[in-house]
Structure 1
């Protein structure tokens, strides 16, 4: 096949080294579209006009796209009238060039391969352009431009490039979907019919949720001092502690038990978060650890716990006010470099949007949608903590409900699971009567004794299962949630 003449590969004034491109692939793909408009449907999810190297080809593709979108024929004859005055096309022969494109058409079955080739070349050109911009900015030493800001900016540009380049999966056969569903059920069956997802280490919560499922966004909400961060930390520690690698059903190496945990701690420092985990593992109150108030045996226990946790695959990022784009980019990098099975975000309202939304409700919507997108893209459960509005405090029954989610209904909408942490003991403690009210004091003490060391996780929404409450134990001095031993379970293996 003779090569169709077109514009030079390297425009005037450009570098002597031409950018990656494949003019013949562009010509032959356009020819295929102009001879069979059905080809467009096969490639529309892969490329746009911006992916073409030759600007004339980009304009031809754009006009053809508009015609096909309007259910009109896009052929050399129909496109001729729209491009008669196009200066670039005139240089190539005008309408005769459109006819030559049609004559060079490839068969429709190869169209997607050609589209991916054009797309790959475009991404390479954008990466080169981005690299040059990074180099130019780094070379220009300015007081207002620090290296760490340039790194952050480069990460954001790379993230946008990766997002723009995702090829939509489109429709899949029902057989493929059924196969995936059977594989999930098989995994649960092999675990004695208990869990399809990652175990939280909390038996009753696992029974209600079936574990943490891949691609799910789970919201854990509560008022301050309810123990949101403590519960999230406990779950993260339980998952990392149980981590065991091995061959997966797809033949790849991965977590067969537990998992690698990424923890975005936007409120607490990494050191404070580690102290909480150490408090739970060593059974030394976290305030004692913070003050260093330990005797020799406690300190030895503390050091032993620290050594045992060295190999725990928990990765903590305590960068404050992290943007959702950076959060996603760093999660991708963690999965690529170390693996990632569960992501925890503490907490949602401290994540920043892209800055395009001046409205706070819209910004929260953008963040919750971004977290759900991360869960689906990385195929992992994302556990995001969330604040609740103050209206909870104004009700007699302080148990939270879905309408209490703060600032945006989209959190409830985007989440697959919404859970609330509730400790009635916290509120009852603040109702302590005066010392002279003996009868009320006796009743209050009795109620406090009943509520002491207990917590509830209220499942307000679950897309794939039942809602309801799960009772847990809570040891405040160790900031530890655990399985609540019922009276009839005394002496059983659940007493821990």
Structure 2
């Protein structure tokens, strides 16, 4: 054997020994936990809020944990005798039958005190196995480098999978049993019963709108559209601040915070700077005109109100991102990061047409908008938060005699109408009537115009043109232009209903 061959032999041997690495698992911890559950069923409830059958490494242990859980939830006793009928009797575990193995688990059981510790150890090992799988996939895809998956989209995919793993303890998605879906639906109804106003969704702070929509539903894409000057940014800002200002957190069993009322809001302001947005909110809260704030044309009393308001606003969980022309991929990544670091209950995007798609710059703007709305819908489902996305309407509204927007006015923008769960239009007739003012106040038509203007002055219509969960219709609100504020009308009879 020559020198080169002699040098290679020990390296090859070391590599062969190191090549096989068993995925992290702890069979003894799984056995100890299952034994504790079989001896005292209360042990199951110590771990059931975070541990699922999929987290156990041994397939038989998964089955035992799943069957025991089903029996205990039905209010029956899970022990080696009641469980064995649901398992394959002829299956062997080494030199034992399944029935003997169950009896052995119970006889060697540890005390219930240790159950949660064993459960945590099993859960942590399951997370490590999932991390290894994601890491291996990242390496393999990076080596193979398929043409249809540029590095940027691989980073986004890895980030999405890691976020899912961090949030739920598993990233594979896939099918969910109908039992789990029913349990989630019942939980949602219970939360609505306990929440202020008994809403299934997050309250917008505008009662007449909540009455029609049941609040903002989690994972919904809510498109808020209107022509320039209608006040769609004002309405979005009002809702965002109302949600953040009424935030009440509740500590969960795992130590994390969950919104009991209100919520943490992320606001992507692609059109206005964060200072402009803050000025609007301060104006709305203090009833000091935003134009006066900008010019410094304020009294000492007004200034004291501004200072008091700003001190309160500093505690409000409203986070603003003012990046112009942000892509759907960047927006998703930042939203995931915000949810991990601060929590997230609602997202606002102002507005869709100022965003860019994830792919290469395309001449086909309709296709790009489709990519953006599809991405927003997927993000809402992934983060389980409502997303309010603002949208401009086509100019064809202006050419019609009736200026009230319709769903067809969105069609130029691809799939906005299709992807949205709710479509809201903001319409202020006051805006159009004001522009029709006769130049001469002695004109015979002037009195007629004045009567019409007084009728619509200070009001706005929010048209619910599409709603997956409820009826469409029109909600009439009060609008104070100088403070850019939408509120409920003093007279509730103004609310119109259509079914």
TM-score by length of 1: 0.68
| 2:122 equivalent in structure 1 | none
Deviations 1:268-313 (A, max 9, x none): 0011001101111111101111111112111111111111111010
Change (3 A) 1:350 1:176: same
Pairing of 1:341-380 with structure 2 (within 5 A):
341-356=345-360, 357-380=362-385
1:416 aligns with 2:421: yes
| 2:247 equivalent in structure 1 | 243
Query: Would you say the 8 A contact 1:198–1:213 is kept in 2?
Result: yes
1:188 aligns with 2:192: yes
1:158 aligns with 2:155: yes
Deviations 1:242-272 (A, max 9, x none): 0111146998531101000000000000110
Instruction: Work out which of the residue numbers 322, 325, 328 in structure 2 matches 1:324.
Output: 328
Query: Would you say the 8 A contact 1:247–1:256 is kept in 2?
Result: no
How far residue 445 of structure 1 moved from its aligned partner, in angstroms, is 0.5
| 1:63 equivalent in structure 2 | none
How far residue 193 of structure 1 moved from its aligned partner, in angstroms, is 6.7
| 1:404 equivalent in structure 2 | 409
Change (3 A) 1:192 1:277: closer
TM-score by length of 2: 0.68
Query: Would you say the 8 A contact 2:351–2:390 is kept in 1?
Result: yes
Instruction: Work out which of the residue numbers 227, 230, 233 in structure 2 matches 1:223.
Output: 227
Query: Would you say the 8 A contact 2:220–2:381 is kept in 1?
Result: yes
Query: Would you say the 8 A contact 2:196–2:261 is kept in 1?
Result: no
How far residue 433 of structure 1 moved from its aligned partner, in angstroms, is 1.7
| 1:266 equivalent in structure 2 | 270
Change (3 A) 1:155 1:242: farther
| 1:79 equivalent in structure 2 | none
CA distance in 2, matches of 1:287, 1:187: 41
How far residue 186 of structure 1 moved from its aligned partner, in angstroms, is 1.9
Query: Would you say the 8 A contact 2:369–2:414 is kept in 1?
Result: no
Q: List gaps (5 residues or longer) in structure 2.
A: 1-7, 24-53, 55-124, 143-149, 165-170, 495-499
| 2:203 equivalent in structure 1 | 199
Pairing of 1:405-444 with structure 2 (within 5 A):
405=410, 407-435=412-440, 438-444=443-449
CA distance in 2, matches of 1:443, 1:121: 75
Query: Would you say the 8 A contact 1:351–1:367 is kept in 2?
Result: yes
| 1:475 equivalent in structure 2 | 480
| 1:136 equivalent in structure 2 | none
Query: Would you say the 8 A contact 1:156–1:326 is kept in 2?
Result: no
Change (3 A) 1:459 1:487: closer
CA distance in 2, matches of 1:290, 1:436: 33
**3-state SS, counterpart of residue 320 of structure 1:** coil
How far residue 488 of structure 1 moved from its aligned partner, in angstroms, is 7.1
Deviations 1:327-353 (A, max 9, x none): 000000000000000000000111110
Change (3 A) 1:348 1:469: same
| 2:237 equivalent in structure 1 | 233
CA distance in 2, matches of 1:254, 1:296: 40
CA distance in 2, matches of 1:187, 1:487: 27
Q: List gaps (5 residues or longer) in structure 1.
A: 1-7, 26-42, 44-113, 132-152, 490-496
CA distance in 2, matches of 1:130, 1:293: 61
**3-state SS, counterpart of residue 438 of structure 2:** coil
**Which is further off, 346-355 or 186-195?**
186-195
1:296 aligns with 2:278: no
| 2:135 equivalent in structure 1 | 124
CA distance in 2, matches of 1:419, 1:252: 33
| 2:289 equivalent in structure 1 | 285
How far residue 21 of structure 1 moved from its aligned partner, in angstroms, is 7.6
CA distance in 2, matches of 1:438, 1:260: 53
**3-state SS, counterpart of residue 477 of structure 1:** helix
Deviations 1:415-443 (A, max 9, x none): 11000000000001111123165331101
Deviations 1:222-250 (A, max 9, x none): 00000010000000110011011114699
**3-state SS, counterpart of residue 233 of structure 1:** helix
Change (3 A) 1:284 1:406: farther
**3-state SS, counterpart of residue 405 of structure 1:** helix
Taking only aligned residues, the RMSD between alpha carbons, in angstroms, comes to 3.3
How far residue 406 of structure 1 moved from its aligned partner, in angstroms, is 5.6
| 2:279 equivalent in structure 1 | 275
1:389 aligns with 2:394: yes
Query: Would you say the 8 A contact 2:271–2:324 is kept in 1?
Result: yes
Deviations 1:441-487 (A, max 9, x none): 10111111111110010000000101000011100000000111117
How far residue 203 of structure 1 moved from its aligned partner, in angstroms, is 0.3
Instruction: Work out which of the residue numbers 295, 302, 318 in structure 2 matches 1:314.
Output: 318
Deviations 1:94-127 (A, max 9, x none): xxxxxxxxxxxxxxxxxxxx99988633533577
